[in-house]
Chain A
Amino acid sequence: MALFEASDLHLRFGDRVVLENVSLAFEAGRLSGIMGPNGAGKTTCFNVLTGRYKPDRGRVLLEGRDITGRPPQDIARLGVARSFQLMSLFDEFTVFENVAIALPATRRRGHDALGQAYADPALVSEAYAILDQVGLADHADDPAKSLSYGARRALEIGVALACRPKLLFLDEPTAGLGSDGRARLAQLVGKLKGALTIVIIEHDMEFLFSLADEISVIHWGQVIARGTPAELKTNAWVQASNLGRLN
């Protein structure tokens, strides 16, 4: 049984069909990719899988448990974290607090209205361990809004990792990054690979094909191809649609 399964998802916005018969399965410990042209429905698909939108039809299962239409906070608490294509951070917080606020340990103390927020040494160490993992420990006390674009991308992933997920969805993590930033991000995702189940939406084919175990191609709201990077390189549709242009 796959860790996460979506079957026969349908979603319409008014009279426009945005997802049609989408079925996806993500095996534990693997890195899966989703690619497709702009407007294909990739981010909408992520939004359905992570609870932002309720599908009109279909089912989403996490470890066999039906989570279809559950709100994002419930799905997050069950171990599904995500990053956003348009960066979504707590800009007025420091880098440390962005990560600390997302830790399950902080969440468990959410009803505490009189205690100290970050006095627990275990919580602080946990936050620093994640900052170290994403290369931001030296910037812990900097405001999130003062970070460079690449560092903010890394913090996005740090916030998602702080949720202690079983499954991590990354929505176009390389968007806007230069070649150095992409290389650093590829290194980070490479380190996470295996320890976590990861699903990445990505336009950067070189990045995706070098990391993914399996890739699904979405176009017009449908999954039109699926396979390993090697299989997809030779896929006629992918080649014809110019999506698989590789070195």
Chain B
Amino acid sequence: MTAGRSVPTFTASMLGSWMLFATVPFWIERVGLYQYLAVEILIFATYALAFNLVLGHAGLPSFGHGAFFGLGAYAFGLAQFNLIPNLWLCLAVATLAAAAGGAIVALFISHRRGIYYALMTIAFSQVFWFIAIKAHGITGGEDGLLKIARLPASFGVATFDLKDNVALFYFVLVVFMGVSLLLWRLVHSPFGRIVKAIKQNETRARFVGYDVWRYKAAILVISGGLSGLAGAMFAMAQTSAFPDVMSLHYSGYVVMMTLVGGGLVSFWGPVLGAVAFFLARDVIGALTIGWMLWFGLLFVVLVLFKPEGLAGMLSTLGTRERKAAPSPNPQPQAR
């Protein structure tokens, strides 16, 4: 960051990615894929961005984020069945329920860091997963919550039906745009910079006057809430909610997406990772049922040889091209 200069609210990569996503329904079927895949990608891109707030920006290794995603999914369904079938209210309930889950977990783990933090997140996610399976009367147990409706998006003057996958895609795109804009502003705000400082040096942050515990707790609550929002959209997309999404391996998926995409070095890395993950699932999955073996190998190779992930690779390519391109105003070479 350049000293004293503001960070723009809208950037070229942000607007570019939004516009690119907006064109997807027009060509996705022509390349042999399907509209629902685009919905899944955007939901998990939203989820991965929210997750990366904790892993990439705060440096807190959470390996149990599936709990918040699942809490959002269940809360959306339960709010729809038991409160009122209104999209906005159900999304708000899902976000708040997952944020509350984040707050409960944060209460117990915010004084930890590193491996201890990671282990505690796994333990808590297992607790939530176990409750989801055992509380059959509320969650439907292993059968899950079925018949969750894709509620219409009502704006007072106009109502949009989201039953069609393309309509749902554009709804999810609007949410994705909102979440990515919110997170972009957040990571460049005073709060976000303090969190970044805590990631680098917790002790120093404490000795310059920051209550590290509160910041770590707050970041988990925000990330948990937004993961829950993604979970609610997933429940809409699937028209059901299952305990599977709260399991350890589902929590591992979002970690893989974030790291493969390059979430540790780039704000947009998790989005790239979500795209890569679902394309791998469908493209490699069409060839072999062991697609995860190949994606897992890609993950290992990237972590070993290019820990900056896909975003890091793209950034390196861009830098090389800029260096290779002749300068429009050649400067005398220093000898």
Contacts and interface: CB of A to CB of B under 8 A. Distances in A.
Interface of A: 50, 71-73, 76-77, 81-82, 84, 88-94, 96-97, 101-102, 104, 106-107, 109-119, 121, 124, 127-128, 140-141, 159, 162-163
B306 interface: no
B209 A116 contact: no
Interface of B: 1-7, 182, 185-186, 188-194, 196-197, 200-201, 203-204, 206-212, 215, 222
A107 B205 CA distance: 11
A96 B3 contact: yes
B4 A88 contact: no
A113 B208 CA distance: 19
Q: Name, among A96, A110, A116, A121, the residue most crowded by chain B CB atoms within 10 Å (CB to CB).
A: A110
A94 B211 CA distance: 22
B204 A117 contact: no
7 contacts: A73-B209, A92-B200, A96-B1, A107-B210, A112-B190, A118-B5, A141-B3
B210 A110 contact: yes
A104 B194 CA distance: 12
Contacts of A89: 201, 204
A101 B204 CA distance: 11
B151 to A, nearest CB: 28
Contacts of A88: 201, 203-204, 207
A133 to B, nearest CB: 16
Nearest to B203: A88
A140 B196 CA distance: 18
A77 B7 CA distance: 28
Contacts of B196: 92-93
A89 to B, nearest CB: 7
Contacts of B211: 71, 73
Contacts of A97: 1, 3, 193
Contact of A140 (B3, B6, B192, B207): B3
A58 B206 CA distance: 23
A201 B329 CA distance: 54
Contact of B189 (A72, A77, A92, A115): A115
B4 A81 contact: no
Given A71-B206, A82-B207, A96-B3, A113 B197 contact: no
What are the nearest 6 A-B pairs in CB distance?
Answer: A124-B4, A96-B3, A76-B209, A102-B208, A109-B190, A113-B191
A73 B189 contact: no
Nearest to B211: A73
Contacts of A127: 3-4
B204 A159 contact: yes
A101 B4 contact: no
Nearest to A115: B189
A50 B207 contact: yes
B206 A72 contact: yes
A16 B300 CA distance: 46
Contacts of B188: 116-117
Given A101-B194, A113-B186, A117-B189, A73 B3 contact: no
B208 to A, nearest CB: 4
A173 to B, nearest CB: 15
B209 A121 contact: no
A90 B207 contact: no
Contact of B190 (A90, A106, A124): A106
Contacts of A115: 189-190
Contact of A81 (B185, B193, B207, B212): B207
Contacts of B7: 116-117
Given A73-B211, A97-B1, A114 B204 contact: no
Contacts of A82: 207
Nearest to A121: B4
A98 to B, nearest CB: 9
Given A73-B206, A81-B207, A112 B191 contact: yes
A239 B101 CA distance: 63
Contacts of A111: 191
Contacts of B208: 76, 81, 101-102, 107, 159, 162-163
B207 A76 contact: yes
B247 to A, nearest CB: 31
A141 B196 CA distance: 17
A215 to B, nearest CB: 24
Contact of A101 (B2, B186, B197, B222): B197
B3 A93 contact: no
A94 B197 CA distance: 11
A88 B193 CA distance: 17
Select the residue from B5, B7, B191 with max chain A CB neighbours within 10 A: B191
A84 B207 CA distance: 10
A82 B207 CA distance: 7
A118 B200 contact: no
Given A97-B193, A114-B185, A141 B207 contact: no
